[in-house]
Chains A and B, each alone.
Chain A
Amino acid sequence: MKIIVLVKEVPDTYGDRKLNLETGLADRGASEAVIDEIGERALELALTYADANEGTEVALLSLAPEGATATIRKGLAMGAGSAIHVSDEALRGADLGLTAETLAAAVRRVGFDLVITGNVSTDGSGGMIPAMLAELLDVPHATGLSSVAISDGGVSGSRPVDAGVQTVSAKLPAVISITEALPGARFPNFKGIMAAKKKPLELLTLADLGITADNPEAARSIMLTVAERPPRAAGVKIIDEGDAGEKLADFLVENRLA
């Protein structure tokens, strides 16, 4: 069984995240870069399966700027066997379409039985890459899974949707995405950190994957404008003198919110 886990380097949500107001791109210098937590959970799922099933290969795949090697190494230290890092100047500001095409080409190159991703990244919050990958790879998708069972030839799980919970299953090869309901990631131990330095980490460009960023046949999503939202001003702040509940009730009624 060969499992590919997608990980994404994102600005840490515990800090202030900034967009460059001229380019509209993420200002990567403004905040600390971390592996998106949901990607760590995806990796944990793959590693848990690998722990119990000998002969399972777990490979990381990340599309990120050149400097992202450190976060990818963290995934190797957690226990992934190898990693592919796709990096290319022409991917700067890549839209969902180009991102999906590039990832699909890399997945095909590595070969796979199962691709595991997070359901939504914390920065882009598009949540479409898993379905796009499934379409491009011509395999089923089972997205937004809150529990997962992987077997030799298939994958199944619970899929919460707006009106209830589906139980879904797919034959492998397949693409799945998982939610935060899955267990959090293990911490890399010292042995893992040392071993990670010797694990294969392949750096690929678009040319290696046979992708052209400005393919005239593909429509791309482009950013037209970007503006910082004016900061929210603080309003009234009162200190409770025994009647704050009454005052707040008045305020809500006056604003027709109660």
Chain B
Amino acid sequence: MTEFPPDAILVVVETRSSGELEKAAPGLFGAAAGVGTPIALVLAAPGAGSAAATEAAGLGAVRVLIAENPDPSELGVPGVDALAAAAEQVQPDAILISHSLNGRDLAGRYAARSRAAVSADAIGVSRDDLGVVAHHSVYGGAYNVTSTSTFGAPVITVRQGSIEARATAQPLASEAWAVTRSEKPAARIDAFEEAVAATSRPELRGAAKVVAGGRGLGSEEQFALVEQLADTLGAAVGASRAAVDAGYIPQAQQVGQTGVSVSSQLYIALGISGAIQHRAGMQTSKMIVAINKDSDAPIFEIADFGVVGDLFKVVPQLISALEARKK
């Protein structure tokens, strides 16, 4: 086995049920390439490893370790075993993992086992004289914080959709990664139901554009206006907590401190007053547009473009104007 590069960044990615790498993969390799040499550990379903390795190389992995899990119904533990062995061999300067549910479990368990330091929910990484530094946006974007490890490679989970950088594709250099199992007790995955995309609308988390509605929409039926504008712009649909509590839309679409945090290129808030709770989940968006009939609504304090008016008049006009410009 050849030596691993001294500035290796170990990127851990898992495959989806389709066999492709998780959606966060391009950003993770992009972040890794900015601070060192990306080495991939691919946690794959049986048989999915070699295709996933090719994909990882295409995204910038200089070397790919393929860990196919013989028993994919075991939750989490096999991935930790594979990571522990890989980190031992690669001796990376940092370990990057997606801040997804599975990624958090993996990072947490691995860090607890190896007594490594964790930097959670990073939105970027950089390097200083002493090592890799994680950048965080905390309290809903009100503060910027950097963190690192007292010694050893920090385990950094990266917020989904937060990294725009992409790495250059590399020629494929992969090897099967055989792992000795820890035999630690694990939960079992008894069944899996794939989410059927009801619409072609983008997912809220990590979306480039978001159209969100609040209590100002008035009813579940009228909330359809938010969806119409979202579809016109190719945006994801979000909502304030007030709209969720009123039953206009499921809780999964809630943007805010107790919901999804978004940092989109465009965020359009319709009939949302802009309570701190909501702003904490969207104020790091690049361009914020607000439409509200109350000119004193706090959302206008952070809006790049605010319209004081009746959204039931403004939004239909906006939709037809956008449609007209498309032609």
Contact = CB atoms under 8 A, between A and B. Distances in A.
Contact of B306 (A160, A169, A234): A234
B150 to A, nearest CB: 5
Interface residues of A, number: 91
Nearest to A143: B105
A242 B307 CA distance: 11
Interface residues of B, number: 99
B277 interface: yes
A122 B276 CA distance: 13
B194 A131 contact: no
Contacts of B174: none
B104 interface: yes
Nearest to B137: A229
B168 interface: no
Contacts of B288: 232
Interface stretch (A15-23, A50-58, A73-81, A198-206): A15-23
A257 B266 contact: yes
B257 A219 contact: no
B317 A142 contact: no
A229 B144 contact: yes
A217 interface: yes
A161 B100 contact: yes
A131 B76 contact: yes
B315 A97 contact: no
A249 B277 CA distance: 28
A180 interface: yes
A221 B118 contact: yes
Nearest to A122: B257
A123 B300 contact: no
B121 interface: yes
Interface string B209-226: 100000000000000000
B258 A37 contact: yes
Contacts of A221: 117-119, 147-150, 154
A135 interface: yes
B276 A240 contact: no
Of listed A119, A138, A217, A221, residue having the most chain B CB within 10 A: A221
A115 interface: no
Contact of A131 (B17, B104, B265, B325): B104
B107 to A, nearest CB: 6
B251 interface: yes
Contact of B307 (A160, A180, A232, A240): A240
Contacts of B107: 128, 131
Nearest to B319: A245
Interface string A8-29: 0000011111110000100000
A194 interface: no
A253 interface: yes
Interface in B101-158: 101-102, 104-109, 111-113, 115-121, 133, 137-139, 141-152, 154, 157
Nearest to B186: A140
Interface string B9-44: 000000011100011000000000000000000000
Contact of A135 (B80, B143, B149): B80
B184 interface: yes
Contact of A141 (B16, B187, B189, B283): B187
Given A181-B251, A219-B152, A257-B209, A166 B189 contact: yes
Nearest to B142: A229
Contact of B192 (A13, A123, A165, A235): A165
A121 B192 CA distance: 27
A232 B302 contact: yes
Contacts of B193: 164-167
Interface in A22-55: 24, 37-38
A220 B276 CA distance: 32
Nearest to A125: B121
A242 B310 CA distance: 10
Interface string B289-318: 101000100001111111111100111111
A149 interface: no
A129 interface: yes
Contact of A219 (B150, B185, B265, B322): B150
Contact of B301 (A18, A164, A234): A234
A248 B311 CA distance: 12
A171 B185 contact: yes
Given A165-B192, A236-B305, A97 B117 contact: yes
B143 A161 contact: no
A224 B147 contact: yes
A207 interface: no
A224 B99 CA distance: 21
B242 interface: no
Nearest to B307: A244
Contact of A258 (B147, B148, B309, B325): B325
The 6 tightest CB contacts between A and B, nearest first, are A245-B317, A240-B309, A128-B108, A131-B108, A249-B321, A170-B187
19 contacts: A97-B111, A119-B101, A126-B104, A128-B111, A131-B112, A141-B187, A143-B101, A143-B105, A162-B101, A166-B191, A167-B193, A221-B147, A222-B149, A223-B147, A232-B283, A238-B308, A245-B319, A248-B291, A257-B287
Interface of A: 13-19, 24, 37-38, 95-97, 100-101, 119, 122-136, 138-144, 156, 159-171, 174, 180-181, 217-229, 232, 234-240, 242-253, 255, 257-258
